[in-house]
Structures are given as structure tokens and as C-alpha cells.
């Protein structure tokens, strides 16, 4: 998740806070959290800890989360090496998407995908970066008679894909092939290769054949999947995980291999003028987002939100997200060869509004 400052309201940091006198409001605390982020951006780890502690003392939830993550005296997650890629050990990510504003966001996202399926009934669908299936599986079920005939699910995280397969089985969908690497897909569901039969014994709920592939979108499309075609290629909050050059290559690779593209992402504000404005915008939004979590707040912040945030501001941290305003996404999709690009709102959300982008293949066939 990336973003910029379109908001200008808010308090200023009390100068006394740095001197130990302490700020007096959460707004001051958020401003101290901004200083912590800027210190990380400057490579000043000690100053970052100092400001994070002060932010936490001032009542900032983000300050508390940063302090826990960065402060060696607090058992710092970063210092302890708990900085594995956020989707490889995904308990925190899954707690995040299962709670707060994500409940309504995902309900609307699945409804938006189901509406796309109804415009291409019984089609072949490819989902890039499906995660644990929280968006795509309910969408398939909600589409009813228009549910896809087949769905290819591509996801590099073994843990998330295993949970996705379990979600499919629990929903009564037939997972007929589970491949660690791409292999040619059949031309019709009836030609599906022999593989594990439906794991729950109930059979396919929607007559939908599901194939799962543990690999990246880049590897999938550049490998034996080359030459395959789909009616719908979709991705929800996953193309943001690809660096822009890789994403452009992926969008181009599917531009003449699918009739419809459907992407759900966040319409983040334009890039701000200064690093300070960018850090401030992120800090204010994260403060709201973190407040949506209660008992699992530490899990969500330490295992997902803080590492993602630091990846945006700290050059030494692993970056997990490259995001843009919706207009930039639309331009990138058009540049990749898609036509009839349309953007519509999906949901308001603390980080940024979510949108559905749809487009048609320029060579539709």
C-alpha cells in the first residue's frame, strides 16, 4: 500500500516532545510517528526508535506499533529478524484481511468480480495473486449459474495457496489439479488432467473446475502457460505487489490472451511534493487503519502493516507494494494494449478508495 498526502488537516508536533516533556494529544503522537518514518528513510535507526517511543507515549497507535517493531528494548520484531516476506508466513496478513474494514471491502470486491463473471457466463478465468481465495472463491459462488467453467489460481505463497485450496474445498469447488509449476491447461474443463479429485467428497458446487499453481504471475505467463487463453483475467490487490516494469510485462502478456481484464486496487492520492508530506499522509491513514483492530492488533501490525509501511519509506526495508492513483493504473493498462478501459468505485476504505478497473482485449478473439 502506497500513498501520498491529499490531506492537510492535523496538528503539529510539539517541540517539547523530543525533549521528553511529552506531547499532549494523539495528533501530536502521529506527528512524532511521522518523524520516526522520516528517520528510517534517512537511515537513522536510533532517531527512529526515539521518535517511535515518543509517539507511543503520546497515544499514537502507529507510534506504539513502530516502537514495538523497531525498539530493541521492546523486543523489536525487526531486530529479532521477524521480517520474513509478509505473504510467506501469512497469519498476520490473514488476520488483517479478515478484520476491520476489510470485511466490507472484500464483500464488495467479490460482488464486483461476480458481476464480471455474469458478463462472461461459464467462461475461463485466471486469477493472478489469489492469496487465500478470500475474494475469488465467494465471487465464484455468488455468480450462481454464471460461475466460471474453470478458474486458474496463481499464487507464489505456498501457505496462502494451501489455504485457498482448503477454501475451495470447503465451498464445494472441485480442485482437479495442483501443480507446483505451470503445465499446459486443457482446452475445456472436460479435458482436465487427472489429479486429486474434489477433496471434500461433495463435488463441485458451481460446476467450476479449479486449478492452482504455486508460482508468480511472471513465471506462470512466461512458462508453459504461454498460448493459453481466458475469458477473464483478474487480480485483486495483487498487481500492486509487482514492480512497475514487471507489472507492465504481465499486463502486456495477457492483453491478447483474454477477452476481459478485471483489476481491483486502491486509488491512492498522487505522489506528494515532499517526503514529509508523503510520510504524514501514510501515518495519518495508518493511524485510522490500525484502530480498526482490537485483540489481534499486535499480530496485524507487527506481521503485516508495519513491514509494508516501512517498505514504502525505508530504502533498507523490503518493498512489497507499488501503488498509483486509478488514473495511472488506467493509463498503464491502456499502454499494455487493452482497450475500453473503465474505472468504477468498489468501496471506501481507510487506506484509499478501492476501484474496479475493467478493460477489453485489443485483439479480442
Ligand X SMILES: C[S@@+](CC[C@H](N)C(=O)[O-])C[C@H]1O[C@@H](n2cnc3c(N)ncnc32)[C@H](O)[C@@H]1O
| Residues at the contact surface with ligand X, assessed by CB under 6 A | 87, 97, 128-131, 134-135, 154-157, 160, 216-218, 236-238, 241-242
C-beta of residue 310 within 8 angstroms of C-beta of residue 40: yes
Of all helices (H) and strands (E), which one includes residue 57? helix 45-57
Q: DSSP of 81-133, one letter per residue?
A: T----TTTSTHHHHHHHTSTTHHHHHHHHHHHHHHHHHTSTT-EEEEES-TTS
Q: How far is the CB of 236 from ligand X (least distance, A)?
A: 4
Q: How far is the CB of 263 from ligand X (least distance, A)?
A: 11
C-beta of residue 75 within 8 angstroms of C-beta of residue 69: no
Q: What is the dihedral of CA 333, 330, 260, 221, to 10 degrees?
A: 30
28 or 329, CB closer to ligand X? 329
Q: How far is the CB of 132 from ligand X (least distance, A)?
A: 7
- Extract the runs of DSSP E, i.e. beta strands, from the chain: 124-128, 150-154, 174-179, 209-213, 230-236, 258-266, 338-347, 354-361
Q: How far is the CB of 5 from ligand X (least distance, A)?
A: 23
318 or 339, CB closer to ligand X? 318
Residue nearest to ligand X (CB): 131
Q: How far is the CB of 313 from ligand X (least distance, A)?
A: 19
76 or 86, CB closer to ligand X? 86
Under 8 Å CB-to-CB from 318, ≥6 apart: which residues? 83, 85, 307, 311
85 or 362, CB closer to ligand X? 85
Under 8 Å CB-to-CB from 194, ≥6 apart: which residues? none
Take residue 320 and report the three cell numbers written for it: 512489497
Q: How far is the CB of 266 from ligand X (least distance, A)?
A: 10
**What distance in Å separates the CA atoms of residue 213 and residue 215, rounded to the nearest whole number?**
6
Alpha carbon separation from 197 to 158, 164, 203, 209, 303 (Å, rounded): 20, 16, 8, 11, 35
4 or 135, CB closer to ligand X? 135
C-beta of residue 265 within 8 angstroms of C-beta of residue 237: yes
87 or 338, CB closer to ligand X? 87
Q: How far is the CB of 365 from ligand X (least distance, A)?
A: 25
27 or 157, CB closer to ligand X? 157
Amino acid at each position: 500500500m502506497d500513498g501520498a498526502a491529499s490531506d492537510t488537516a492535523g496538528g503539529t508536533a510539539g517541540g517539547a516532545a523530543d525533549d521528553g516533556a511529552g506531547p499532549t494529544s494523539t495528533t501530536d503522537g502521529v506527528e512524532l510517528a511521522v518523524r520516526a518514518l522520516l528517520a528510517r528513510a534517512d537511515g537513522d535507526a536510533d532517531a527512529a526508535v526515539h521518535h517511535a517511543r515518543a509517539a507511543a507515549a503520546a497515544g499514537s497507535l502507529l507510534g506504539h506499533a513502530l516502537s514495538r517493531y523497531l525498539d530493541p528494548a521492546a523486543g523489536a520484531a525487526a531486530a529479532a529478524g521477524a521480517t520474513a516476506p509478509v505473504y510467506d508466513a501469512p497469519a498476520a496478513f490473514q488476520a488483517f484481511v479478515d478484520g476491520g474494514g476489510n470485511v466490507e471491502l472484500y464483500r464488495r470486491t467479490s460482488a464486483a468480480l461476480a458481476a464480471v463473471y455474469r458478463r462472461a457466463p461459464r467462461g475461463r478465468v485466471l486469477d493472478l495473486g489469489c492469496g487465500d481465495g478470500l475474494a475469488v472463491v465467494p465471487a465464484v459462488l455468488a455468480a450462481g449459474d454464471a460461475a466460471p467453467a474453470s478458474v486458474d489460481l496463481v499464487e507464489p505463497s505456498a501457505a496462502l495457496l494451501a489455504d485457498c485450496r482448503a477454501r475451495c474445498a470447503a465451498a464445494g469447488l472441485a480442485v482437479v489439479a495442483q501443480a507446483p509449476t505451470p503445465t499446459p491447461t486443457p482446452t475445456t474443463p472436460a479435458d482436465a488432467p487427472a489429479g486429486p479429485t474434489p477433496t471434500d467428497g461433495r463435488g463441485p458446487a458451481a460446476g467450476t473446475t479449479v486449478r492452482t499453481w504455486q508460482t508468480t504471475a511472471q513465471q506462470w505467463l512466461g512458462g508453459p502457460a504461454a498460448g493459453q487463453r481466458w475469458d477473464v483475467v483478474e487480480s485483486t490487490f495483487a498487481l500492486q505487489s509487482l514492480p512497475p516494469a514487471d507489472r507492465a510485462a504481465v499486463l502486456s502478456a495477457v492483453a491478447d490472451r483474454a477477452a476481459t481484464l478485471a483489476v481491483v486496487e486502491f486509488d491512492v492520492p498522487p505522489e506528494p511534493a515532499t517526503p514529509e508530506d508523503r510520510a504524514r499522509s501514510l501515518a495519518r491513514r495508518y493511524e485510522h487503519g490500525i484502530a480498526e483492530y482490537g485483540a489481534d492488533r499486535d499480530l496485524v501490525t507487527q506481521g503485516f502493516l508495519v513491514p509494508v509501511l516501512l517498505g514504502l519509506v525505508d530504502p533498507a526495508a523490503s518493498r512489497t507494494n507499488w501503488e498509483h492513483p486509478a488514473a495511472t493504473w488506467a493509463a498503464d493498462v491502456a499502454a499494455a494494449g487493452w482497450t475500453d478501459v473503465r474505472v468504477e468505485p468498489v468501496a471506501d476504505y481507510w487506506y484509499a478508495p478501492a476501484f474496479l478497473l475493467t478493460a477489453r482485449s485489443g485483439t479480442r478473439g
